[in-house]
Amino acid sequence: MPNYTAPVEDMMFLFDKLRNNRNYNEIEKYKDVNTELVKDILVEAAKINENIILPLAKIGDENPTVLENGIVRTPPGYKEAYSKYIEDGWTSLSCDPKYGGQGMPKTVSAFFDEMLSSASLSFKLYSELSIGAYNCIFHHATDEIKNKYLPKMVEGKWSGTMCLTEPVCGTDLGLLKTKAKEQSDGTFKLTGQKIFITSGDHDLTENIIHLVIARATDSPNGTKGISLFLVPKFIVNEDGSIGARNGVSTGSIESKMGIKGSATCVLNFDDAVGYMIGSKNKGLNAMFTMMNLERIVVGIQGLGISEIAYQNSLSYAKERKQGKTNNTKSTNGADCIIEHADIRKSLLNMKSIIEGERALCFWLSQQTEVSLYHSDEKIKKEASDFVSLMTPVVKTMFTDMGMEITSDAMQVHGGYGYTKDQGIEQLYRDNRITPIYEGTNSIQAADLVFRKLVNKNGDIINRYLDMIKNDINIEDEKLKPFVEDFNSNIKILSHFTTWMKEKIQKSKDDASAACNDYLKALGFVAIAHSWIKVLEVSFKDHNNNKNFYEDKIQTAKFYFKRVLPRVENHFKTAITGSDYIMNFNFK
């Protein structure tokens, strides 16, 4: 089983030193969220993740969730861990105090999401969609529904799901077949089948609140006829107690490559009672409140799995002896593999990407809070645009890099990495779903290019590039070489952006073939921007915590010399066009 130590020191560094975002600091509701409080939360979060949840990863992989006589049973130990999890209030961390939540900002809850992803992604998924469902209900449901369902969901006694995919449609939701027939009392009866439903059924909570997209019988075809419905597993009585079983049943549980402790279900809806959320035929607008949050959270899953893969690779490299280096330190004929240049390069690649991603995630969490709660509408709108731009980037970059990092972790471990004993191959398998979840990464890249670069709110990408260029206008000689590298890559990205906008108008195949390259180029630049902010603090406060900051400086140096140059490669690849791709004759 892999070992794991939550990176509390690095998280607290971000919270303490990179919280200098004026717009974020102007949010009144978070004035009392201080260093001491956050550190207490993260220390306790580390304890439950390291000691209670981490062992569940291996248990769930070896004892997958099963469906027995219509009942879904989670792996051994899950029930006990979940009881402790909700007893300690972890489901309520970022929820509104009005419904029993603790009201912590996403700058804090994102750290907890990362820890939980590192410890056991399968276990995490039983509560993750509940928070997404909570947010959707919170923003779009009536007060009556909020008061009836949210307190129990915040407490963790009830969980939530997102039911979109059907056998006939994945991303193209306009093809869905699930029907909703309105009743005389204003409720609806839903009939249809949903597949790949994460935590669709289980034995951890008293009730499961499904958010289901369906088409009312009098609605038009396509996406314009989709509505959103709340469909509980058990009907909730007027007094809040649980009543009769609703018309929702589990047809089967998917047999998967990874996350085997998570119940990925086929759900059948047979005249199931549902309650419309939001306006009729506007279901996708409401559901995207949940989906966009989930895309960021899925990115954090990739980050969390990368972190535990790196930690175990580093530990193994310090112990495993193999071969001699040019400057051998061995007295018995072999050096630890961490002395080999190629292994060191792999480890630094992991470390520089992970720490840069964590800093970028912290920045995005700040922007999310500003987009929701700042008092100035203009500032809120700009932050919302930046969140919209960076959501597909974080989802895709963090999960794709998670695949690269877990693959490299297996390579560092050699043959032991391929066996089940070390647990590294499980990290690779568990992470493999993250580039697919919530719209595959190719779809995320297309969304970025065709919907986010320029839209009804104007030229978002150039506003973002102007913002980060202004943000690094720092007078510090030590930072100068990093800033020069950064600026040269911004120029490449700017050229790439101009090329991409032209191709969107003139040759959509060229643009489509370049989407993934463009997203990666933007992602590596965004991470570099976060590293510049980290370096600014590291050079300024170097003498206060010399070892910590020197580590940051050297890690950043690797990123700028070995990782950031990928931007140019993606640009050169993309501008070769698509003719030789589209004209190829597959046989």
- Which residues belong to the active site? 438
Torsion angles phi and psi, residue 26, rounded to 5:
-85, -5
Q: Is residue 522 part of a domain?
A: yes
Q: Is residue 339 part of a domain?
A: no
Task: Give the C-alpha distances (Å, rounded to integers) separating 10 from 63, 294, 406.
Answer: 34, 24, 21
Q: Is residue 491 part of a domain?
A: yes
The confidence score (pLDDT) of residue 534 equals 97
Q: Is residue 92 part of a domain?
A: no
Cβ 256 vs Cβ 65: under 8 Å: no
Q: Is residue 305 part of a domain?
A: no
The confidence score (pLDDT) of residue 331 equals 63
Residues across the chain: 587
For residue 545, the enclosing domain spans: 457-587
8-state DSSP, 560:
I
Q: How far apart are CA 356 and CA 532, in angstroms?
A: 10
In the chain, how many domains are there? 1
| N-term to C-term CA, the chain | 45
Q: How far apart are CA 415 and CA 412, in angstroms?
A: 9
The confidence score (pLDDT) of residue 559 equals 98
Quote the pTM value: 0.96
Q: Is residue 464 part of a domain?
A: yes
182 forms beta bridges with 188
Q: What is the pLDDT along the chain (587 residues), one digit of tens a residue?
A: 899 999 999 999 999 999 988 899 999 999 999 999 999 999 999 999 999 999 999 999 999 999 999 999 999 999 999 999 999 999 999 999 999 999 999 999 999 999 999 999 999 999 999 999 999 999 999 999 999 999 999 999 999 999 999 998 877 777 899 999 999 999 999 999 999 999 999 999 999 999 999 999 999 988 889 999 999 999 999 999 999 999 999 999 999 999 999 999 999 999 999 999 999 999 888 887 777 888 999 999 999 999 999 999 999 999 988 887 777 766 667 888 999 999 999 999 999 999 999 999 999 999 999 999 999 999 999 999 999 999 999 999 999 999 999 999 999 999 999 999 889 999 999 999 999 988 899 999 999 999 998 777 779 999 999 999 988 888 788 999 999 999 999 999 999 999 999 999 999 999 999 999 999 999 999 999 999 999 999 999 888 899 999 999 999 999 999 999 999 999 999 999 999 999 999 99
Cβ 6 vs Cβ 47: under 8 Å: no
User: What count of other Cβ atoms lies within 10 Å of the Cβ of residue 527?
Assistant: 25
The confidence score (pLDDT) of residue 20 equals 85
Q: How far apart are CA 292 and CA 298, in angstroms?
A: 10
**Residue type at 363?**
W
Q: Is residue 519 part of a domain?
A: yes
Q: Is residue 553 part of a domain?
A: yes
The confidence score (pLDDT) of residue 421 equals 86
